[in-house]
Amino acid sequence: MALNDQVDQLPPKGIRPPIIGPGQTLGTATDRIAGIVLTKHTPIFWFAVVAVSVGIFGILNTAIAYLLGRGTGIWGINIPVGWGFAIVNFVWWIGIGHAGTLISAILLLFKQSWRTSINRFAEAMTIFAVMQAGLFPLVHTGRPWLAAYWLFPIPNTMGVWPQFRSPLIWDVFAVSTYFTVSFLFWGIGLIPDFATLRDSAKTLVVRRIYGMLAMGWRGSARHWNRYETAYMLLAGLATPLVLSVHSVVSLDFASSIVPGWHTTFFPPYFVAGAIFSGFAMVLILAIPFRALYGMQDYITLRHLQNCAKVMLATGMIVAYAYVLEMFMGWYSNDRYELAMVHNRLHGPYSGYYFMLVLCNIIIPQSLWFNKVRSSPLALFLVACVVQCGMWLERFVIVVMSLQRDFLPSSWGMYWFTKWDIATLLGTMGFFTLLFFLFIRFMPAISIFEIRTLLPQSKVKE
Amino acid sequence: MTAEPIYGLLAEFDNPTDLVHAAKAAYGAGYRKMDAYTPYPLEEAAEAIGVHHNRVPLITLVGAMLGMIGGYSLEYWVSAIAYPINAGGKPFHSWPSFIPVTFECAVLGAALAAVFGMMALNGLPQPYHPVFNAPNFTSASRDKFFLCIEAQDPNFSVVSTKQFLQNYRPQLVSEVPY
């Protein structure tokens, strides 16, 4: 896998790399992107990745089947740490999803045309990540087949409804709305591209399948007019939505009285962390994708550099939040908050905390250097480190606060089990599987939006 | 001239400038039943054939209102009427804690209304449309630009409309059969 390509020539100092490679026309851009889907020759690496991820997906199924048979006791959760890996992974996955909506909605409203090459697969990433996230609270209930009564407003046999004053129920609404809106956004973006695939298909079966998915789209100016309105409205709706989702997730913690959770700055801190890890995931997916499929003309160094800059900015906000956490512990002069700070630095899990500082604060500082921002390999590695760091952050928040609350007599340790690891690993396999199926069967780059970037697409007066 | 009724005349252009030029001229010549087909959203083409506003924003607003009212009413009814529970001494109608779900329901209603409203107004899904019968129309989703003047237009005549379209440098003008 050639991650660091010769194709990536840096332009002279002071000139930024282009958003789209030179010499592209409407026809070549269409053929190039549609070609990944319509080709008869599926690359070998695709089969290799899918085979491995199907195997890991099997581990996930085994872990969940065993969980349903034996109960959540197979995980390391107990009193006092009842949340453990399930909630750590839930928050981690849902955070990863955030970059997709940020790229597709917020950057669209700000007319950042560089978003166009990466929005489609970032949206797919969002949907697949939210799917993994949703799995954890569901299986954490132990009996997911009854979860509908606990999560959705359906009364049980006693006529009792979910508690709408609880952030946990807000979370159900936030995450399910987020999934639905992301899916709609992704879906309507795909319609014109399915029409392109229908019209470029060489066999009848392929033409029929994409024809049905395209729903008769014909590119009429009247249709485009309504389509663009709906697209912009969805972007406007998704913008406050994406900010609300991780804010609501953070309220699961912040509205409790547990030391280390009971703080008002959790919502912005969580949103910044979500975007930080989300952009890291965009880089983890984009860098191999462009190298393996030779898409350097569409996902250029400019995209990678911009993602790195967003990571740097949000990483600094996250670093500020870590400092503020410590400061607030001291400033509150509350013995339990001070004990929480002490526990972070000197407690049994302090190693996790220092690893978190290394991964999330120190190593991302390398992104200040243009050399790092312009090297796909270096960016890939930094993004992987950040992903680990963001997972550790959630571990620190969930486990280290629950582990030692107000009464030393109720303190305890949390030891995760092999089933915790298997479930986390399994969701990574499931995510990779979904993502590779997506790039094989759907256009991973938005073809119709790429066309609008080309000079020949503009009307000359 | 064919005896069979036709859907309209379709002119093919290889760049957006020619399409917009022809569409403006057709609108100026009094044609109204027409449509442009482009591989990407081209605001100028919609403007040229006289499409300015649409009802998607209104439908979205209605969806948002329904979601908002529905979400809040559900919370109120569940918490204050169907099964009132004293949680932490809060009033049964504790409206501040009902806001997040109300907001999410409003966004959900608006998004569903925007997408399905847009689809309904566009008449999609539509398995069959005569314009797909035209030669080379598959390029409309690739790199070609089309202007179709429909036979329903009162000014339409196969001969004179064809001559009219020929003036605007089309690559091809073809009759679209039903």
Q: Is B79 on the interface with A (CB under 8 A)?
A: yes
Is A159's CB within 8 Å of B82's CB? yes
- Testing the interface with A: which of B19, B141, B176 to mutate, by most A Cβ within 10 A? B141
Q: Is the pLDDT of residue A440 over 80?
A: yes
Q: Is B38 on the interface with A (CB under 8 A)?
A: yes
**pLDDT, average across residues A200-216:** 91
In this prediction, residue B72 carries a pLDDT of 96
Residue A58's Cβ-side half-sphere holds a number of Cα atoms within 13 Å equal to: 6
In this prediction, residue A3 carries a pLDDT of 42
Rounded to whole angstroms, the Cα distance separating B150 from B143 reads: 22
Count up the domains in chain A and report the number.
Answer: 1
Is A177's CB within 8 Å of B127's CB? no
In this prediction, residue A29 carries a pLDDT of 86
Is B111's CB within 8 Å of A181's CB? yes
In this prediction, residue A2 carries a pLDDT of 42
- Testing the interface with A: which of B143, B145, B150, B169 to mutate, by most A Cβ within 10 A? B143
Rounded to whole angstroms, the Cα distance separating A337 from B156 reads: 80
Tell me the pLDDT band of B87, cut-offs 50, 70 and 90: confident
Residue B155 sits at the vertex; the CA angle it makes with B151 and B156, to the nearest 5 degrees, is 30
Residue of A nearest to B42 (CA): A221
- Our CA-based measurement puts residue A145 at a distance from the nearest CA of chain B, in whole angstroms, of 23
**Of residues A151 and B67, more confidently modeled:** B67
Give yes or no for a contact between B70 and B113, defined as CB atoms under 8 angstroms apart: no
Residues forming a β-bridge with B177: B6
Q: Is the pLDDT of residue B2 over 70?
A: no
Q: Is B128 on the interface with A (CB under 8 A)?
A: yes
Residue B103's Cβ-side half-sphere holds a number of Cα atoms within 13 Å equal to: 23
**Residue A65 forms part of a structural domain:** yes
Please tell me whether residue A4 adopts helix, strand or coil conformation.
coil
Give yes or no for a contact between A90 and A136, defined as CB atoms under 8 angstroms apart: yes
- Among B42, B94, B114, select the one facing A233 at the smallest CB separation: B114
Judged by average pLDDT, the poorest of A106-120, A269-283, A356-370, A406-420 is A106-120
- Our CA-based measurement puts residue B65 at a distance from the nearest CA of chain A, in whole angstroms, of 13
**Residue A403 forms part of a structural domain:** yes
Residue of B nearest to A166 (CA): B97
Q: Is A452 on the interface with B (CB under 8 A)?
A: yes
Which residues 378-397 of A are in CB contact (within 8 Å) with B? Answer: none
- Residues from chain A contacting residue B88 (CB–CB below 8 Å): 165
In this prediction, residue A6 carries a pLDDT of 47
**Residue A22 forms part of a structural domain:** no
- What tokens were used for B94? 């504790």
Give yes or no for a contact between B22 and B165, defined as CB atoms under 8 angstroms apart: yes
Alpha-carbon radius of gyration of chain B:
25
Rounded to whole angstroms, the Cα distance separating A351 from A355 reads: 6
Q: Is the pLDDT of residue A16 over 80?
A: no
Q: Is A451 on the interface with B (CB under 8 A)?
A: yes
Rounded to whole angstroms, the Cα distance separating A273 from A361 reads: 12
- Our CA-based measurement puts residue B110 at a distance from the nearest CA of chain A, in whole angstroms, of 8
- Among B45, B57, B138, select the one facing A229 at the smallest CB separation: B57
The DSSP 8-state label assigned to residue A329 in this structure reads H
In this prediction, residue A41 carries a pLDDT of 86
Q: What is the pLDDT of residues A248-285, one digit of tens each?
A: 999 999 988 888 898 888 999 999 999 999 999 999 99
Strand order through the sheet with B172-177: B34-37, B145-150, B6-13, B172-177
Q: What is the pLDDT of residues A68-84, one digit of tens each?
A: 999 999 998 988 898 98
- Residues from chain A contacting residue B139 (CB–CB below 8 Å): 199
Give yes or no for a contact between B141 and B114, defined as CB atoms under 8 angstroms apart: no
- What tokens were used for A59? 């581990």
Is A237's CB within 8 Å of B111's CB? yes
Tell me the pLDDT band of B105, cut-offs 50, 70 and 90: very high
Please tell me whether residue B10 adopts helix, strand or coil conformation.
strand
Judged by average pLDDT, the poorest of A413-422, A438-447, B152-161 is B152-161
Residue A453 CA from chain centroid, whole number: 26
**Residue A301 forms part of a structural domain:** yes
Tell me the pLDDT band of A66, cut-offs 50, 70 and 90: very high
Tell me the pLDDT band of A7, cut-offs 50, 70 and 90: low
**Residue A136 forms part of a structural domain:** yes
Q: b/e for A330-348, b at 16 or more Cβ within 10 A?
A: eebeeebbebbbebbeebe
Q: What is the pLDDT of residues A21-43, one digit of tens each?
A: 777 888 888 888 888 888 888 88
Q: Which helix (H) or strand (E) holds B176?
A: strand B172-177
The CA–CA distances, whole Å, from B86 to A135, A155, A160, A407, B93 equal: 31, 17, 13, 27, 10
Is A177's CB within 8 Å of B100's CB? no
Residue of B nearest to A32 (CA): B142
Residue A254's Cβ-side half-sphere holds a number of Cα atoms within 13 Å equal to: 16
- Residues from chain B contacting residue A244 (CB–CB below 8 Å): 100, 103-104
**Residue A371 forms part of a structural domain:** yes
- Residues from chain B contacting residue A219 (CB–CB below 8 Å): 37-39, 140-141
- What tokens were used for A408? 């030393």
Rounded to whole angstroms, the Cα distance separating A198 from A268 reads: 43
**pLDDT, average across residues A444-456:** 88
Going by C-alpha positions, the residue among A338, A366, A343 that lies closest to residue A353 is: A343
Is B125's CB within 8 Å of A216's CB? yes
- Residues from chain A contacting residue B54 (CB–CB below 8 Å): 225-226, 229
Q: Give this prediction's pTM.
A: 0.92
Is B101's CB within 8 Å of A226's CB? no
ipTM of the complex: 0.93
- What tokens were used for A83? 């949340």
**In which domain, by residue range, is A292 found?**
37-456
Residues sharing a CB contact under 8 Å with residue A301, sequence separation 6 or more, in sequence order: A8, A10, A17, A374, A376
Q: Is the pLDDT of residue B140 over 80?
A: yes
- The enclosing domain of A74 has a CATH number of 1.20.1630.10
In this prediction, residue A1 carries a pLDDT of 39
Work out the end-to-end distance of chain B between its first and last CA atoms, rounded to an integer number of angstroms.
15
Q: Which helix (H) or strand (E) holds B104?
A: helix B99-122
Residues forming a β-bridge with B34: B149
Is B100's CB within 8 Å of A244's CB? yes
Please tell me whether residue A157 adopts helix, strand or coil conformation.
coil
Q: Is B65 on the interface with A (CB under 8 A)?
A: no
- CATH architecture, domain B6-53+131-177: 2-Layer Sandwich (3.30)
How many Cβ atoms from other residues are within 10 Å of residue A142's Cβ?
15
Domain boundaries, chain B: 6-53+131-177, 56-122
The DSSP 8-state label assigned to residue A309 in this structure reads H
Which residues 160-189 of A are in CB contact (within 8 Å) with B? Answer: 160-165, 167, 169-170, 173-174, 177, 180-181, 184-185, 187-188
- Among B45, B103, B115, select the one facing A221 at the smallest CB separation: B45
**Residue A442 forms part of a structural domain:** yes
**pLDDT, average across residues A12-29:** 79
Please report the number of interchain residue pairs, chain A to chain B, with beta-carbon separation below 8 angstroms.
Answer: 197
Which percentage of chain A shows pLDDT scores above 70?
97
- Our CA-based measurement puts residue A189 at a distance from the nearest CA of chain B, in whole angstroms, of 11
Average pLDDT, chain A: 90
Q: Is A339 on the interface with B (CB under 8 A)?
A: no
In this prediction, residue A4 carries a pLDDT of 43
Residues forming a β-bridge with B36: B147
Q: Is the pLDDT of residue B170 over 70?
A: yes
Q: Is A217 on the interface with B (CB under 8 A)?
A: yes
Give yes or no for a contact between A363 and A385, defined as CB atoms under 8 angstroms apart: yes
